[in-house]
Structure 1
Amino acid sequence: MKKLLYFIMLIFIQSLANAQTHYEKIIRYKNGNIKSIISYNSNNIKDGQTINYYPNGNIQSYIPYMNGNINGVVENYYKNEILESTGIIVDNLLEGKFYYFHKKWKTEIYN
């Protein structure tokens, strides 16, 4: 009986340790389409991928967050879903090469 109780307690403690640490918030336009899907950690700080959409439902941008700061590859799109720009942001600052795609291709380098 003691072993069974110990086993049940062990499973319960493990399930608490694996409790959900992130959640998503969905913001919608008045027409019902999704405007943004934002990931938050258990401290209500942006953490994970944020996806923004245009009113027509096309993707506007992907923005990766780590503990409240933008960290990672950011992608921005035109309304027709063609890539507008992409680059790396580290702790909310542009880092390295940032590419802009317009009629003429453009690269900017940041330190």
Structure 2
Amino acid sequence: MGVVTPFPLARGAPTQIGFDRAELTRILDIYGRMVAAGMWRDYAIELGRDAAVFAAFRRAAERPEYRVEKRPDLRGRQGMWALVGEAGAVLKRGHELASVLAPLERRLLKLVD
């Protein structure tokens, strides 16, 4: 019989950062309500080594109006969640996703009113 050699597994940091189901559900809930309000039309998700990014677009050919970034390396410092505006400025940063998405929630309430 042949010898079975175990496949070496990389231990330590994951090779790709992603959103878990609860986080993505929360983000897509706001996205769906903004689409229903007529503000957003498209989105993109980028999963990389350093960050996972959800970008929301007014039109598909533009820069994203908002980006929600998850950077686990910043968990101990400023918080791993960030809301980034169209110009690239960080609008909100924090440890909780709900508090980072709060400016979008407020904007949505103003649209519906």
Shorter-chain TM-score above 0.5:
no
Where is the strand percentage greater, Structure 1 or Structure 2? 1
> TM-score, structure 2 length as denominator?
0.33
Q: Could you say which structure has the greater relative contact order, defined with CA pairs below 8 angstroms and 6 or more residues apart?
A: 2
Give 1 or 2: higher helix fraction: 2
Q: TM-score, normalised by structure 1?
A: 0.34
